[in-house]
Structure 1
Amino acid sequence: MHSLPPNYRALVIGASGAIGAAMVAHLQRDARCAQVLTLSRHGTPPVDFEDEASIGNAAAQLREQGPLHLLIIATGMLHGAHGLPEKRLGQLSYAQLTASFAINTLGPAVALAHFAPLLARHERSLVGVLSAKVGSITDNRLGGWYGYRASKAALNMMLKTAAIELARTHPQLVVAALHPGTVDSPLSAPFQMARNKRPAAQAAGELLRVLDGLPAHETGSFWAYDGQRLPW
């Protein structure tokens, strides 16, 4: 991460997932990185996006570890206990939609609210949050995947709005929604026929490079792993 100050500090939330763990590995190999902090559902302290209190508790415990220069939120849910992504309106249910929004929208937004105060105010800092191209309303031409699409679209709005607010107090901060593409991970496991599936290590490196290259005026933007700007 050449754009960050020497001896920068990083925090990866969702460090037990495929992409999150790969990002941690990349950052730990970076000689310019002084510290990589990690949080996950089964870590210490635990962070569970279906338990709001756990987010605030983790932020309070890490407050003395700042300032942070890099915050990665590498979480997401495409399928779970309530089934696979909904292909038709008739498959929608409160239970699955609630779970999708809790993990994909509410958790990352509340995490940003709690951890943004730990970000460096007078140095360059970066926030990268895993979104998905299917969360683009403009790009939606196939339909289906209702809850995942809608929750990622809502996440994008949260990030855009937060970027506007944070620019007033953190003028060198870049907040970006990131599309990792199709990655070989448990999230994509039920879709083994998915094309162009890439190793998590490759995707993590690509996303970090894209984030590292964004200038401050691009805060509140949406990018793919290959450097392509995505439409909202």
Structure 2
Amino acid sequence: MPDTSVMTSLGGHYRALVLGSSGGIGRAFVERLRSDPACADVIGLSRSDDRFDVTKEESVAAAAARFTEAERRFELVIVATGALVIDGNGPEKTIKAIRADVMAAQFALNAIGPALAIKHFAPLLSNEGKSVFTVLSARVGSIGDNRLGGWISYRSSKAALNQIMRTSAIEISRLRPKSVVVSLHPGSVDTGFSGGFSKGHDRVSPGESVENMLSVLDRLEPAQTGGFFAYDGQPVEW
């Protein structure tokens, strides 16, 4: 990965936090940010490395409290948690396949977890200049773009996540008018995330996806907070 700065809009010596840093995309975010000469510090948290569990509020609150007590602030917070396949349960092909427990697990990880992350980590955003809080969403979470049906639990959890981000952005901007709070669609990325369900789609490496998404975040302005954007910078319809 290049060692040139990709987040110039945050100013020199910005600090970054990646939640879900052990996943394919999360790990690529950490690696790229560590290669950025303008990034003074990057911290990654994950369930496998730090027992950080975004679905448990006590875990999220405890992790955030450590930074609060140390008076640490971040210009960039990335929530790279989420899953398409949970406990071996992939996306449904039909309404008949809906299971309450499977849907609840999707919402717990893909919507409620990021909401808890916003609740506890958004207060750690720096207020000295532009700051960014972003979560990984998915184009299939777009209601307007849904022309194929299926995948009801996953689609719905990501649609809920987008509403959570939209609403949070409005509230956060009142205290941090220079903040950018957005959902990002990373594209079809070559990781184990999809469990084979992305066959037939052109896929990019985690490093390429991350490079694209960071470039988008660098270009976004506070006036665009609350939006939903793809890896190429184009808005995604709700």
TM-score normalized by the length of structure 1: 0.97
The Cα of 1:30 is off from its aligned counterpart by 0.5
The Cα of 1:174 is off from its aligned counterpart by 0.2
Partner secondary structure for residue 168 of structure 1? helix
Partner secondary structure for residue 42 of structure 1? helix
Could you report, residue by residue, the CA deviation over 1:47-104 in whole angstroms, capped at 9, with x for unpaired residues? Answer: 2123221000110112225211000001111012151101111111111101100110
Could you report, residue by residue, the CA deviation over 1:186-221 in whole angstroms, capped at 9, with x for unpaired residues? Answer: 112323623111100000110111011001100000
Who is 2:56 aligned against?
51
Paired amino acid for 1:53: E
1:63-212 correspondence runs (5 A): 63=68, 64=70, 66-191=72-197, 193-212=199-218
Structure 2 unmatched ranges of 5 or more: 1-6
Go from structure 1 to structure 2 and tell me whether the alpha carbon gap of 1:172 and 1:189 turns closer, same or farther (over 3 Å shift): same
Who is 2:14 aligned against?
8
Partner secondary structure for residue 167 of structure 2? helix
Q: Give the aligned CA root-mean-square deviation in angstroms.
A: 1.1
Whether the aligned pair in 2 keeps the contact of 1:13 and 1:40 (CA below 8 Å) is yes
TM-score normalized by the length of structure 2: 0.94
Paired amino acid for 1:22: A
Partner secondary structure for residue 11 of structure 2? coil
Partner secondary structure for residue 128 of structure 1? strand
Whole-angstrom distance in 2 between the partners of 1:191 and 1:36: 32
Who is 2:4 aligned against?
none
